[in-house]
Amino acid sequence: MINIAILGFGVVGSGVAEILETNAGRIAKSAGEGVRLKYIVDIRDFPGSRFSGLFTRDFSAVERDPDVSVVVETVGGVGAALDFTRRCLAAGKNVVTSNKELVASHGYELIKQAKERNVNYFFEASVGGGIPILRPITQCLAANEISEIFGILNGTTNFVLTSMIKQGQSLGFALRQARENGYAEADPSDDIDGHDACRKICILAALCFGRHVYPQYVATEGIGRVELEDAEYAGRIGCTIKLLGRAFLAPGGKVAAYVAPHLISQDRLLAGVDGVMNGIVVRGNAIGEVLFYGAGAGKLPTASAIAADIIDCAKHAGARKRIEWEDGSAGDIYETGQLESRWYIRTPASRDKLAGAFGRGELTIISAPNSSRTAFATPAMSARSLSAHMEGIPMLSNFRIME
């Protein structure tokens, strides 16, 4: 029998308790033994909860209990969660989490600490909710040299963009709808501004390329500048607009990582990943491209990924799995301003002015009825080169195009 504790009884934490109960038989069969929830640590009261006998406010009860071998950290953030995680690992307990902020900022340190104590620090639920992605990268694609990973990593912004594009809603209206449906927090700025996607691409980059990529080195742009008009222009050149996190191996062995809205070709399967769903593409030298798709958030999908990690801890008690990466620094990061791509631009400037800036015949003009603006697609060039061409010309939108 494996005894576990859950730290933080919010949406995900309570989902874990629910799944351990609902799918107890299946979980015991997979783990090779039963999984028993012994403590739930939370400072709040949950009167009437059917888990009422398990609640405690005293984290140290978990820390001191030698029977508890796996601790689920669903506290979130980097305050108490970091302290609790360090203390659990120091006490020789496996830790399983969905806390992407903590993994993105302290993953290197915590994995190292886990290794020293011969326990596991697992975080499948931190990226893509319930979509299996970390394990497939480290195990199933283990014979591939991975060159690139990119995808739709945030369900809230994908819901908003899908509503804008498919139903012609404004960003503000779509966001209100997302909130009403429980797809967005009261303060959605972490999603809208791209920070959530940034943390996830940091974790994915570290797993694929073996070096910690810290969020502060990742150029991050959210969907705040995307307007309805952009969706219309994008459709006219066979594209849709998606917020992508992307990381790849750049020249010189550096890692490039960034988050930004992209126009992507409707011919790509990723363009069909709509609503709150997530989709992640991995490119390897043997496999080519593989895509993983599913619910990127939500109580039960995320809890199901945590439960899979608990099972893995049970099966590998005393036998660590080889998930680790080196520390990273600013010097390892490729500056994405150098990265070339075609660009989509919307501007109030005249076509003549643009022809002057880029050379006649160089641009693909995108026409839309009922618009006095000009939108166009450039040939492939770096962000720097684009800025140089557009000097003195205002840009209302400028997004990379992924063909």
* Token pair of 373 as six digits: 């603006």
1 binds its own copies (CB under 8 A): no
CA distance linking residue 63 with residue 84, whole number of Å: 9
Task: Work out how close the CB of 388 gets to its own copies at its nearest, in angstroms, rounded to a whole number.
Answer: 38
For the window 258-297, what string marks contact with its own copies as x by the rule CB under 8 A?
-----------x--xx----------xxxxxxxxxxxx--
The site for its own copies, by CB under 8 A, has a size of 51
- Within the chain, what is the greatest distance between any pair of CA atoms? 75
Q: Is 315 a catalytic residue?
A: no
For the window 7-26, what string marks contact with its own copies as x by the rule CB under 8 A?
------------x--xx--x
67 binds its own copies (CB under 8 A): no
CA distance linking residue 175 with residue 403, whole number of Å: 28
37 binds its own copies (CB under 8 A): no
318 binds its own copies (CB under 8 A): no
CA trace torsion 7, 13, 17, 22 (10° rounding): -160
Which residue type sits at 357? A
* Token pair of 179 as six digits: 């909130």
Q: Which of positions 109-138 make contact with its own copies (CB under 8 A)? A: 124, 130-132, 135-136, 138
Q: What is the 3-state secondary structure (H, E, C) of 366-378?
A: ECCCCCCCEEEEC
Catalytic residue among 93, 100, 200, 299: 200
Among 43, 44, 53, 143, binds its own copies (CB under 8 A): 143
Among 3, 144, 177, 385, binds its own copies (CB under 8 A): 144
> Which residues, including other chains, have CB under 8 Å from residue 103's CB and lie 6 or more apart?
97, 110, 123, 126, 199, 203
CB 178 within 8 A of CB 161: no
What are the C-alpha distances in Å from 153 to residues 148, 177, 321?
15, 20, 25
223 binds its own copies (CB under 8 A): no
Q: Which DSSP symbol is given to 138?
A: I
Phi, psi at residue 360, to the nearest 5°?
-65, 135
CB nearer to its own copies: pick between 134 and 363: 134
Q: Which of positions 145-184 make contact with its own copies (CB under 8 A)? A: 145
320 binds its own copies (CB under 8 A): no
Catalytically annotated residues: 200
Contact footprint for its own copies (CB under 8 A)? 19, 22-23, 26-27, 30-32, 124, 130-132, 135-136, 138-145, 269, 272-273, 284-295, 298, 300-301, 303-305, 307-308, 310-312, 315, 319, 322
